[in-house]
Amino acid sequence: MSIQLISNLFSLFGGLGMFLYGMTVMSDGMQKAASSKMSGFLNIVTEKRYMAVLLGAGITALVQSSSATTVMVVGFVNAGLLNLSQAVGIIMGANIGTTITAWMVSLTQVSGDLLTVFKPEFFSPLLVGFGAFRLLFRKKGADDLAADFCIGVGLIFIGLEFMADAVKPYADSPIFSEAFSYMGGNPVLGILAGAVVTGLIQSSAASVSILQTLSLSGAVPRVAGFYITLGQNIGTCVTALISSAGTSRTAKRAAVIHLLFNVVGAVIFCIIISLCAIPLRSFFSGALSPVEISIFHTIFNVSSTLLLYPFGDLLVSLSGKLVRESQKDREELLARDGYTEIERNLIQHLDLRLLESPAMAIQASRSEVINMGRIVELNVAESVMVMLDRDREKLEEVFAREKVIDNMQKILTDYLIQVDNLSLNETQKLLVTNMFNTMTDMERAGDHAENIAEEAQYAWEHEIVFSEVGRSDFRRLSEKSMASFESSIEAFEESSLDAVVRTAHLEDEVDDLEEEMRERHIQRLTKGECAPPAGVIFLDAISDLERISDHADNIAGYVKSML
């Protein structure tokens, strides 16, 4: 074994490690940093599946890598920012986007040079460097979620580049040439050859370029080249499948959807080619040209999207059947150390056997969403007590309870995904969707409660004290904010229109109060009646209270849509 081969194997292994670690860091960063604005943006953009398709095509055209786009989708799904229905559209668009990029690069060299700026290998080192400097100069003990995100994304692309470079010296090897030339005549072997080579190279674009180089000699028959191209589209799914290692089951299902989409499309085109092979024998037996490869590649991806677009929900359902959660998995989950009694009870109550009856599964989920809301409500109240009373014991309770809330959301989300894959009527589908949205707003409200506790902790450590007027204002606003959140939980639990209306009125009062207090506080700062450090914490804290009431109003809005 040569030194060069050993070096390439090390590079391949190291690249895989960076890729997987970057995936973890990016996903964690997104999950922590995902504000309601970011989640709302993604929900708005992907609300209609055709919009999600356009988004996927646009992103892929910019980064020039469908693999990069699907990896990002897996990360967003793992972070809970996208559901599988939204992910389907982006994945479809990614397949179209990769053909757009190929045409843009091949048509003009100028476009290719300009697009280099958007290539992952161009900007990934900058992302890692930017993130590293932010981490070096952050405050002690503080999280820098933007840095985590940048480093994660950068490492993903650098890892991909390492893996691609490790196998690049063997791209012109006779092994690859023979795989294309000799195995291409058989549909199964042709698809297998394209898939294996693309999976090894980690790039369908590179694999297609190898095929185009071979076709220049006129040695590749059209039918063989078409089958190989189908395989190359399947092989590009390997990257997303690798990226799903260590992620949630929902994220794994997103990667499986990508595979299903390309496999089903390949099967359909195999049937079409087989039916046309005899009537068009002279055409299919002719030599394949590089341009024809690009044309077929485009036709395949665009046609697959048009054909499978109406069946996006079916792909989601199939992914749920392929990536199942077994009762054994649940038992192992319960046996893990670190779960609180609340989380263990939640796992037990969301019994998989209830999935045999959608109505019972929905009712069980709804009960646990209400429990989650009550826990968030308690955390909001205690975070306010921490700020006003400087209760260190309650501070630790708030932090511990926030972790429970995050785990509850993950467990409930995974269960609701399975409920969503059942045969539901329109009312049940809307209720499940509203439960997803309600959980998101509850978790965001919990994040703001944690923010208030962290702000209180910072004030203690730096001996910062509110003025009496500031304490009084904070207490008054907190009472209104807590009342709005409590009212929203009541609206969800009892499907009460009165509670919905009351929540909306309270939210308006909180908005007005927050604006009034902000203006008065600035006046106190101007007059020197309040110290600037206390002012910063006060403004952040009342902003958190206002955001909690915003999430309460969102929850009430979901309830109103069901009444």
pLDDT tens, position by position, 138-164 = 766 555 667 887 888 788 778 767 876
Per-residue pLDDT, 35? 40
Give the whole-number percent of the chain exceeding pLDDT 90: 22
Instruction: Check whether residue 394 and residue 486 sit in a common domain.
Output: yes
Per-residue pLDDT, 546? 93
Hey, CA dihedral for 206, 207, 210, 212, is it positive or negative?
Answer: negative
Closest-CA residue to 371 (of 349, 397, 355, 403): 349
Q: What angle do CA 359, 339, 552 make, to 5 degrees?
A: 55
**Structural contact between residues 442 and 372, judged by C-beta atoms closer than 8 angstroms:** yes
When divided into structural domains, the chain yields a total of 2
Residue, of 350 and 483, whose pLDDT is higher: 483
Pure H helices in 426-467: 426-461
CATH number for the domain that contains residue 467: 1.20.58.220
Instruction: Check whether residue 414 and residue 374 sit in a common domain.
Output: yes
Contacts 24+ apart (CB under 8 A), 335-340: 339/407, 340/404
Instruction: Check whether residue 334 and residue 300 sit in a common domain.
Output: no
Instruction: Check whether residue 358 and residue 274 sit in a common domain.
Output: no
Mean pLDDT, the chain, as a whole number?
Answer: 79
If you search the block for the tokens 């080192």, which residue do you land on? Answer: 125
**Structural contact between residues 53 and 46, judged by C-beta atoms closer than 8 angstroms:** no
CA distance 421 to 200: 33
Instruction: Check whether residue 298 and residue 341 sit in a common domain.
Output: no
Per-residue pLDDT, 110? 38
Instruction: Check whether residue 420 and residue 290 sit in a common domain.
Output: no
CA distance 169 to 147: 34
Instruction: Check whether residue 389 and residue 364 sit in a common domain.
Output: yes
**Would you say how long the chain is, in residues?**
563
Per-residue pLDDT, 31? 46
If you search the block for the tokens 């990667």, which residue do you land on? Answer: 255
Per-residue pLDDT, 447? 93
CA distance 402 to 387: 16
Give the amino acid at 105: V
Instruction: Check whether residue 313 and residue 457 sit in a common domain.
Output: no
CA distance 412 to 408: 6
Q: Which of 271, 288, 322 is the last residue of a domain?
A: 322
Instruction: Check whether residue 75 and residue 156 sit in a common domain.
Output: yes
Instruction: Check whether residue 207 and residue 76 sit in a common domain.
Output: yes
Q: Which of 322, 346, 371 is the last residue of a domain?
A: 322
Q: How confident is the model at residue 329 (pLDDT cuts 50, 70, 90)?
A: low
Query: pLDDT, tens digit, for every residue of 58-91?
Result: 877 766 567 777 877 887 776 566 778 888 998 9
How far, in Å, are 78, 165, 485, 514 from residue 27 at the CA level? 7, 25, 29, 33
Instruction: Check whether residue 261 and residue 355 sit in a common domain.
Output: no
Query: pLDDT, tens digit, for every residue of 270-322?
Result: 888 888 866 676 666 666 777 788 888 889 999 999 999 999 888 888 888 88
Q: Is 38 a residue whose pLDDT tops 50?
A: no
Q: Is 459 a residue whose pLDDT tops 70?
A: yes
Q: Which of 322, 349, 382 is the last residue of a domain?
A: 322
Tokens of 242: 């690798």
Q: Is 113 a residue whose pLDDT tops 60?
A: no
Per-residue pLDDT, 127? 87
Instruction: Check whether residue 302 and residue 428 sit in a common domain.
Output: no
Q: What is the pTM of this model?
A: 0.51
**Burial of 388: CB neighbours in 10 Å, binned 0-12, 13-18, 19+:** middle
Closest-CA residue to 91 (of 326, 308, 273, 242): 308
Per-residue pLDDT, 111? 44
Query: Region 262-266: what's the mean pLDDT?
Result: 93
Range of the domain at 155: 3-322
* 533: number of Cβ within 10 Å: 14
Q: How confident is the model at residue 119 (pLDDT cuts 50, 70, 90)?
A: low
